[in-house]
Structure 1
Amino acid sequence: MLCRSLANSTLSCDMKKHRNPRLLRLLALCAPLLLAGCDMALLNPKGQVGEETKSLILTATWLMLIVVIPVIVMTLWFAWKYRATNKSARYEPNWSHSTAIEVVVWLVPIIIIAILARITWVSTHELDPYKPLQSDVKPITVEVVSMNYKWLFIYPEQGIATINELAVPVDTPVNFKITSESIMNSFFIPELGSQIYSMAGMETKLHLIANHVGSYDGISANYSGGGFSGMRFKTLAMTDNDFQQWVAKVRESKKVLDKATYASSLVPMSENTPVTYYSSVDANMFQSIVHAPMASGMAQQHEGHAGHDAHDGMDMKGMDMKMEMKGAGTDAVAAPAAAANVQNGQPMTMAMDAGAHAMHAAGTAAHAHKE
């Protein structure tokens, strides 16, 4: 019965589809209109860098459409005009060249490419993420650390730190210093502008500014593992007074961020970490995180050298003992002196000299006995 009902419903749906093909086509054409309700962050910027990025995207798109739109239109028009049922279309099987067409298909793309090259060259330098923003307002510094799977924000000038919440005053340039505690990530606030990668053992930079009060989503734009989807934070753009109040609220927290807390609470992997405030933070916390991979590598290298040195020392002592024992076997008088040299830690060359003298003395005695 169940299979029969499913078959009947499928047949009914197929009949309805055949009955209303125009309705289905209309719905298919209207479906893209639903995208109009989506919030496209890149095309709805709230900061200077975002505005310039939007302008670059739209300018480049319109320039490329100068070629794309005519090609699409002509493709559809040619297919319609030279269809098999159109007997009035002129048939020219021997046509092979048109100077006008050659000029258009070569000259127009070359001009567009030249314009795009100029725009790209200028905008690449103007939107350089390492380039500080020009402003009469003193910038603030925020140190960013990507972790598994959360974001740590350190405010060195205010002496505070937060997890998964970033607050900035509007119309104030923000100088971001960015690194990673482990795997590579990408720090990105779409409505404010550019993204930049965070990498362990390195410090990257990004300069942004928020020109409108609001709350903006921040994400990791680079896949980094199982908790990647929840690696989000809120960017709160607020007035100067509200920012000072926010700083005061963070300072009321009973939590402090020192190296012990960082190692025990933040380094372990966690997903969907709630917003956390730290009323104080070690002054050199960020730099210690940046240099951590290098320090770890140097420690391992030092341990390796220590092991080699100990092994080499044992080998050298063994060589000394061998040489001295050899000398002791050939000359009973030289043996105590050679052993004393080794015991007192004197250089191997002295021990070798003692052995050589012993061997020479033994050879001389043997020669005299023979005579």
Structure 2
Amino acid sequence: MRTSLPPVLLALSLLVPPAHATQLSFLKPAGPVAAAQSGHFWFVIIAMLVVVVPVFILTPIILWRYRYGRRNASYRPEWSFSWGWEILLWGGPIVLILILGTVLWAETGQLDPYKPLGPHPLRVDVVGYDWKWLFIYPDLGIATVDKLEIPVGRPVALRLTSDTVMQSFLIPALAGQIYAMQGMRTKLNLEASQAGAFLGENTQYNGTGFHAQKFTTTAASADDFRKWVGSARAGAHALSPAVIHALETKGTDKDMARGLHLGGPSDLVFRLPVADLFTRILRDGPAAPAHALLAGSPIAAPAAPKQKAD
């Protein structure tokens, strides 16, 4: 016998990702920033119910009373004003707005994306392209495309820019949205409180490949993160002018891997030739020749990943 879900339940089921999928909602927070955002969201929802619930209850009652129960309803053609109703109808929303505004003001400061989350953060520089993200680990000497690896329990400090049009960087389960713009630097601080794979994406429409500009943020234990750094360094390819050209060419990570004759997006791991690549991209942008971005003193031997102090 064939069965089907009601439309409402079907729509709700689409909002919940399968168990094996990357987490993609701040309603299932995996870090302190997303947890604070989720708490703020539910507070606003509950507070708004103070206004919404009476409306939904009283509207059908009033309609029934004056449509079908009008014989029992009092008829007062001279009635025009009531202090009680005025105070209730205006006072309630005013108090609610004051409460929401105060909470929003306080939490805006607490959730400032530029505010560090703790000492010894992992530094990651992020550059947006059409239609992929470059993640630079200046202290580790490596860079990845569409794959952000972070350790659990350690703050992560991101610096962001775009090598093309304005883009919007978002990892819903870990932090809020921040824009990346060419020639400008923005910051975002986040932290993962649990291991897992979390969806990240560009939410700013910027062309035909916009829908595919997604990446995976993987949070792992400190030991697993150190192992990943070691394997990434061992298998990293040289970040050459050809790689810079592939990054600046419109296309997804799959297109880039194909153009560089690599096995797939998982092979897009590169050794940094210079320590200040992000600064050079930020300063010179796409107008700079690829060889100019990579010219200069070679990067020093990267340090081992730091552990979070107990």
TM-score, length-scaled by structure 2: 0.81
Task: Kindly state the Cα deviation for residue 56 of structure 1 after the two structures are TM-superposed.
Answer: 1.0
Q: Aligned residue for 2:74?
A: 90
Q: Is the 8 A contact 1:251 1:280 kept in 2?
A: no
Task: Return the match for 1:70 from 35, 46, 54.
Answer: 54
- Compared with structure 1, are the counterparts of its residues 254 and 117 closer, same or farther at alpha carbon in structure 2 (3 Å cutoff)? closer
Distance in 1 (CA, whole Å) between partners of 2:142 and 2:80 is 74
Task: Kindly state the Cα deviation for residue 263 of structure 1 after the two structures are TM-superposed.
Answer: 3.2
Does the residue aligned with 2:164 lie in a helix, a strand or coil?
Answer: coil
- Compared with structure 1, are the counterparts of its residues 63 and 145 closer, same or farther at alpha carbon in structure 2 (3 Å cutoff)? same
Distance in 2 (CA, whole Å) between partners of 1:134 and 1:98 is 55
Does the residue aligned with 2:235 lie in a helix, a strand or coil?
Answer: coil
Task: Kindly state the Cα deviation for residue 106 of structure 1 after the two structures are TM-superposed.
Answer: 1.5
Taking the TM superposition and a 5 Å limit, the aligned residue runs for 1:172-211 are 172-211=154-193
Task: Kindly state the Cα deviation for residue 92 of structure 1 after the two structures are TM-superposed.
Answer: 2.4
Does the residue aligned with 1:42 lie in a helix, a strand or coil?
Answer: coil
Q: Is the 8 A contact 1:147 1:181 kept in 2?
A: yes
Distance in 1 (CA, whole Å) between partners of 2:74 and 2:285 is 74
Would you say 1:264 and 2:245 are equivalent positions?
Answer: yes
Cα deviation code 1:301-351 (max 9, x no counterpart): xxxxxxxxxxxxxxxxxxxxxxxxxxxxxxxxxxxxxxxxxxxxxxxxxxx
Does the residue aligned with 1:82 lie in a helix, a strand or coil?
Answer: helix
- Compared with structure 1, are the counterparts of its residues 238 and 294 closer, same or farther at alpha carbon in structure 2 (3 Å cutoff)? closer
Task: Kindly state the Cα deviation for residue 90 of structure 1 after the two structures are TM-superposed.
Answer: 2.6
Distance in 1 (CA, whole Å) between partners of 2:244 and 2:148 is 22
Distance in 1 (CA, whole Å) between partners of 2:80 and 2:236 is 82
* Matching residue's letter, 1:34: L
Bigger radius of gyration, 1 or 2? 1
Task: Return the match for 2:151 from 169, 188, 193.
Answer: 169
Would you say 1:46 and 2:27 are equivalent positions?
Answer: no
Task: Return the match for 1:117 from 78, 101, 107.
Answer: 101
Q: Is the 8 A contact 2:196 2:219 kept in 1?
A: yes
Would you say 1:284 and 2:276 are equivalent positions?
Answer: yes
More relative contact order in 1 or in 2 (CA 8 Å, sep 6+)?
2
Task: Return the match for 2:63 from 79, 84, 87.
Answer: 79
- Compared with structure 1, are the counterparts of its residues 234 and 173 closer, same or farther at alpha carbon in structure 2 (3 Å cutoff)? same
Distance in 1 (CA, whole Å) between partners of 2:148 and 2:168 is 16
Does the residue aligned with 2:26 lie in a helix, a strand or coil?
Answer: helix
* Matching residue's letter, 2:204: N
RMSD: 2.0
Q: Is the 8 A contact 1:144 1:176 kept in 2?
A: yes
Taking the TM superposition and a 5 Å limit, the aligned residue runs for 1:317-336 are none
Distance in 1 (CA, whole Å) between partners of 2:53 and 2:202 is 35
Task: Return the match for 1:218 from 200, 208, 214.
Answer: 200
Cα deviation code 1:101-143 (max 9, x no counterpart): 11111211111111111101101100000111136xx210000
Does the residue aligned with 1:92 lie in a helix, a strand or coil?
Answer: coil
Q: Is the 8 A contact 1:192 1:209 kept in 2?
A: yes
Q: Aligned residue for 1:351?
A: none
Does the residue aligned with 2:252 lie in a helix, a strand or coil?
Answer: coil
Q: Is the 8 A contact 1:253 1:279 kept in 2?
A: no
Q: Aligned residue for 1:244?
A: 226
- Compared with structure 1, are the counterparts of its residues 104 and 242 closer, same or farther at alpha carbon in structure 2 (3 Å cutoff)? same
Task: Kindly state the Cα deviation for residue 85 of structure 1 after the two structures are TM-superposed.
Answer: 6.3
Q: Aligned residue for 2:122?
A: 140
- Compared with structure 1, are the counterparts of its residues 31 and 92 closer, same or farther at alpha carbon in structure 2 (3 Å cutoff)? farther
Q: Aligned residue for 1:129?
A: 113
The total of aligned residue pairs comes to 266
Distance in 1 (CA, whole Å) between partners of 2:201 and 2:216 is 9
Does the residue aligned with 1:145 lie in a helix, a strand or coil?
Answer: strand
Q: Aligned residue for 2:44?
A: 60
Task: Kindly state the Cα deviation for residue 32 of structure 1 after the two structures are TM-superposed.
Answer: 2.2
Task: Kindly state the Cα deviation for residue 211 of structure 1 after the two structures are TM-superposed.
Answer: 0.4
Q: Aligned residue for 1:34?
A: 10
Gaps of 5+ in 1: 1-26, 297-371
Q: Is the 8 A contact 1:184 1:198 kept in 2?
A: yes
Task: Kindly state the Cα deviation for residue 190 of structure 1 after the two structures are TM-superposed.
Answer: 0.5
Distance in 2 (CA, whole Å) between partners of 1:147 and 1:79 is 56
Task: Kindly state the Cα deviation for residue 284 of structure 1 after the two structures are TM-superposed.
Answer: 1.4
Cα deviation code 1:36-72 (max 9, x no counterpart): 4332712111100000011111111211221121122
* Matching residue's letter, 1:271: T
TM-score, length-scaled by structure 1: 0.68
